[in-house]
Structure 1
Amino acid sequence: MAIQIPVVKGKTLSTEYWLGSLSFSAISKYVKLPENTDWDDVFGGKGGQEAQRKLAKTRVTNEIVPYLLNSDDAFFSSLALILVPSTGKPLKEGSDYKFIPIAADGKIGTLEIDESVDMFPADGQHRAAAIINAVKQDRGRMTSQEVPVVLLPYVDKEKLRQHFSDLNLNAKPVSQSMGYAFESRDPVVVLTKRIMKDVPLFEKRVNELSNSLAKKSPDVITMGTLVQAHHILLEALYGSKYKEKSDITDLRQVDPADERVGIVAEKLRDVWEVVIDNIPEWDLLMKGKVSARQLREGDPANGTAGYVFAFGLGWQAIATVAAALIKDERDDWSEGLAHCLRAVDWNKGGHWHGVAMVGDRVNNTGPGIKATAGYILSMGGLAAGDGGIVSAAPQDPN
């Protein structure tokens, strides 16, 4: 039985395509993901040119599928699907598909695709995988949902590879920070927007456009870094399943100014107040006596090299230390955090080599963040043991 899809026929230079939509049920049935070995021959065989990059399954399972299942207003941009006959030969009108025009201009009509034709996701493979997974989890609600599609005819292996290259190399996704700036559904982002107003240091000093700060940036942190720090802190405050807690889930699409947001945000604000109060340079910045650039890059006129705490690595490492102390359920985690922050020599220099820095560069990586957090704890006479935070003599990382 042929698939029938209302479409609009189009052409860009020499490439013909059809615009339409497919039900999630049809995506589940006819789209073969890149990991399917059926595509090996199309791309030159295993060990040669395989289909494309492997799926990031954790991202699909933990991020995109929940987005579909838990959002009443979820929306995907169009998938680009190549129509590939099972014979491996070029898509042929008459046997593989038929276009039945219903408008005088011949552009609007119905596309009938033979069931033997497979669909290869040249763009949108993670969205397609999420749709397939979501249908398995909630068939009753998901099967009838639709997603926009661009359908392209299979010509040959080289053309298919070129389509994939064109669609992926030319795509320029927005930065994580910019994406967060427009986000209203994620409760952690909603909380972050509230913190950006409630914490004086952050007000009008959070970069919402890029994932990193330029050397001359007057901002002190990116929104992406602040959101990630809040994930770390919320896990400590509410447990590993914090995303499922009603205190958090109830904040979806709530105005950041809402009182409910303020109640949870206050717990995060308490952490940032301890951090800012115990790093005196932040107070100097708020009083206009030093710039954010000078804190990061140093001031040659004064012979200063800058400070590690002023980088994204510093913010996330400090959040990690605060989270560890909160999880340790001490009488007052804030005293321990204040002690650790004041015990550290934050000036960039040799004592940070192999911890937060590689040479003269701050090493903003996952291992670097973890090592920096461990260093901060050790300078405070603490260490992360299997059962939590334990007292330990300060350790020399060198």
Structure 2
Amino acid sequence: MDSTFSYNFPAIKGIQAGKEYFVAMCPLRIIPKIFLFDEEEIPPEHRAQRILNKARIPEMTNYIVENQSDYVFSSITASIDGEIEFLPYNNGEISKDLGQLRIALDARFLINDGQHRRAAIEEALKISPEIGNETISVVFFHDAGLKKSQQIFSDLNRHAVNTTSSIGILYDHRDRMAMVTKDIILSNPLLSRYTDKERVSLSKNSPKILALNHIFNTNLKLLGKAKGDEIKDDEIEFLQDFWTVLCDSIVEWNLVLKKELSPRDLRANFIVGHGVFIESIGLVGNYLKTYHADQWQQYIRKLSKIDWNRSNNSDWLGRSFNHNGRIQKTTYTIQLTANRVKQLIGLPLTEAEQTLENKFFQGVE
């Protein structure tokens, strides 16, 4: 192969399943040029698997642009349909797998894993072209006719395990709401002991009461914020005070803290052991912050008088749990639960909340 008419990458050769593959360091500036994303060029059997979720691209782009000193991207995996040649630097036993990978200019590349990374890199280069000389590792498989690429895609994703949103929050040291949420948990005796920082839903035998993502989502609702929004110091102070008052006001939580009630029995018998409850309180708290900024604490303390038992069908059936007794947490049930909490502590419903109530009762009838 003529090196003048080829892509040339320093690379390492490896063997998997008896077949060669190559790992190369590619400058970011050439990623959008060699890995074209033209759906017409992608075989039909691959298109459905590789439809870009364009909503993800701005967030990933901002991640690169705003963290140029410490962003991290994992390898892109790609199939090559075209002529390739590997030239080892020497034939020594130690270094025979180090060499130069040559790929014909007319070769086709199909990304098996990393199409969103590729799109984000392209957008980031438009904003910060200076990152073009930085590199990302690319794992190349030779696949004539791209016949095996569908199986490669399937195999790469078959055993992939996405991290839970709780883990994502726990390990996030950039998002201020994530940091504030973790600080609140750490400083609160009940939350620090009974918050599961890994899972997003708790099993019936879990020794915890709430999941980290429940508290994070509740904080967003309390402030009426979206993930990534700016948070002011006075809002952080409100969140800290809110959780202190709330934890003091939920009788059943304090029974758990005193070892008079187990977390298992709490979840089995009361809605206060579930995400639908705590996120509904976020909506109530946001209303109080907006319309009763000086009185919100006295309203939250009224929660101690409410019957949270799952046998209390008149208040929670169809809102927090269904007719089979199963807890249900959706945007709809969170709002319906919040509506009932507001009514029970003497707060009026907004026009939108009343409309939802009317639909709820029409459905019941």
TM-score (norm 2): 0.84
Is contact 1:196–1:202 with CA below 8 Å preserved after alignment? yes
Q: In 2 relative to 1, CA 378–154 (structure 1 residues): closer, same or farther, beyond 3 Å? A: farther
Partner deviation per Cα, 1:136-180 (whole Å, 9 max, x = no partner): 3x2323322321211112234441110000001111233332333
Partner deviation per Cα, 1:57-106 (whole Å, 9 max, x = no partner): 223323x222212112110111111223xxxxxx33xxxx3322213243
C-alpha separation in 1, matches of 2:139 and 2:205: 42
Q: Give the superposition deviation at 1:202.
A: 0.7
2:33 counterpart of 1:37: no
2:98 counterpart of 1:108: yes
Letter in 2 for 1:226: I
| 1:25 alignment counterpart | 29
C-alpha separation in 1, matches of 2:18 and 2:108: 23
Is contact 2:113–2:153 with CA below 8 Å preserved after alignment? yes
2:321 counterpart of 1:357: yes
C-alpha separation in 2, matches of 1:318 and 1:127: 37
C-alpha separation in 1, matches of 2:65 and 2:216: 23
Letter in 2 for 1:215: K
Q: Give the superposition deviation at 1:240.
A: 6.0
C-alpha separation in 1, matches of 2:358 and 2:154: 52
2:303 counterpart of 1:314: no
Letter in 2 for 1:192: T
Letter in 1 for 2:215: L
Q: Give the superposition deviation at 1:19.
A: 0.7
| 1:372 alignment counterpart | 337
| 1:77 alignment counterpart | 74
Q: In 2 relative to 1, CA 264–145 (structure 1 residues): closer, same or farther, beyond 3 Å? A: farther
Q: Give the superposition deviation at 1:265.
A: 4.4
C-alpha separation in 1, matches of 2:47 and 2:136: 27
> Helix, strand or coil: the match of 2:41?
helix
Q: Give the superposition deviation at 1:347.
A: 1.6
C-alpha separation in 2, matches of 1:346 and 1:367: 19
Is contact 1:81–1:150 with CA below 8 Å preserved after alignment? yes
Is contact 1:32–1:118 with CA below 8 Å preserved after alignment? no
> Helix, strand or coil: the match of 1:17?
strand
Q: In 2 relative to 1, CA 14–328 (structure 1 residues): closer, same or farther, beyond 3 Å? A: farther
Structure-to-structure mapping, 1:184-199, within 5 angstroms: 184-199=173-188
> Helix, strand or coil: the match of 1:345?
coil
Is contact 2:50–2:115 with CA below 8 Å preserved after alignment? no
| 1:296 alignment counterpart | 267
> Helix, strand or coil: the match of 1:121?
strand
2:139 counterpart of 1:153: no
Q: In 2 relative to 1, CA 338–31 (structure 1 residues): closer, same or farther, beyond 3 Å? A: farther
2:91 counterpart of 1:60: no
Letter in 2 for 1:150: V
Partner deviation per Cα, 1:334-360 (whole Å, 9 max, x = no partner): 334444x35753222433233221221
Is contact 2:220–2:226 with CA below 8 Å preserved after alignment? no
Q: In 2 relative to 1, CA 219–230 (structure 1 residues): closer, same or farther, beyond 3 Å? A: same
Structure-to-structure mapping, 1:169-318, within 5 angstroms: 169-233=158-222, 235-236=223-224, 243-244=229-230, 247=232, 265-297=236-268, 306-318=269-281
Letter in 2 for 1:59: R
Is contact 2:251–2:304 with CA below 8 Å preserved after alignment? no
User: Which piece of structure 1 moves more, 168-177 or 210-219?
Assistant: 168-177
Q: In 2 relative to 1, CA 16–367 (structure 1 residues): closer, same or farther, beyond 3 Å? A: farther
Q: In 2 relative to 1, CA 125–328 (structure 1 residues): closer, same or farther, beyond 3 Å? A: farther
Letter in 2 for 1:325: L
Match of 1:384 among 329, 342, 350: 350
| 1:131 alignment counterpart | 121
C-alpha separation in 1, matches of 2:40 and 2:184: 48
C-alpha separation in 2, matches of 1:37 and 1:336: 59
> Helix, strand or coil: the match of 1:172?
coil
Relative to total residues, which structure has the larger helix share, 1 or 2? Answer: 2
C-alpha separation in 1, matches of 2:359 and 2:245: 24
Instruction: Please provide the CA RMSD for this pair.
Output: 2.9
2:308 counterpart of 1:346: yes
Count of residues paired in the alignment: 348
Is contact 2:85–2:101 with CA below 8 Å preserved after alignment? yes
C-alpha separation in 2, matches of 1:242 and 1:52: 29
Structure 2 unmatched ranges of 5 or more: none
Structure 1 unmatched ranges of 5 or more: 85-90, 249-262, 298-305
TM-score (norm 1): 0.78
Q: Give the superposition deviation at 1:54.
A: 3.0
